[in-house]
Amino acid sequence: MFKVIFACIHNAGRSQMAAAFFNHLADPAKAQAASAGTEPGTRVHPEVQAMMREVGIDLSNAKPQKLTKELASGTQLLVTMGCGDKCPYVPGLRRDDWPLQDPKGLPIEEVRAIRDEVGRRVQDLLRREGLD
């Protein structure tokens, strides 16, 4: 089983979108994703929920969570979301960084563009790992 964690600071936007796309597109018998943050927020941003609903993915029950050693256990890849020095680091995990703008408070058109870029990057990741 290939496991990936998508992580950012508040786990309320980009990382939630990435994990949702990954779990929506990947074969659940081969791969799964989680999302987490170093300083989890209280909820997924409403604008992120709305934009994901547009593509048929419901994040209404998604909850930000803290990136812990337990969550990272058995994970092969950590994908951070361009949070610079504040990005999480887990020793021993292969890491990739996707420099994406935080969608919090942005106009819907910009959140939609970020969502679409996240979706493209997830599809590329699935292809690279042979999981498409």
Per-residue model confidence as pLDDT tens digits over 54-88:
999 999 999 999 999 899 999 999 999 987 777 77
Find the mean pLDDT for residues 5-25. 96
Kind and range of the H or E run holding 122:
helix 108-128
Find the mean pLDDT for residues 93-121. 95
Q: What global pTM score does this model have?
A: 0.95
Whole-number average pLDDT of the chain: 94
CATH code that applies to domain 2-128 = 3.40.50.2300
Sheet arrangement for strand 94-97: 31-37, 2-8, 77-80, 94-97
Measured N-to-C along each axis, helices 46-54 and 14-25 cross at an angle, to the nearest 10 degrees, of: 30
Token output for 85: 């020095």
Tell me what pLDDT residue 121 has.
98
The residue ranking higher by pLDDT, 114 or 86, is 114
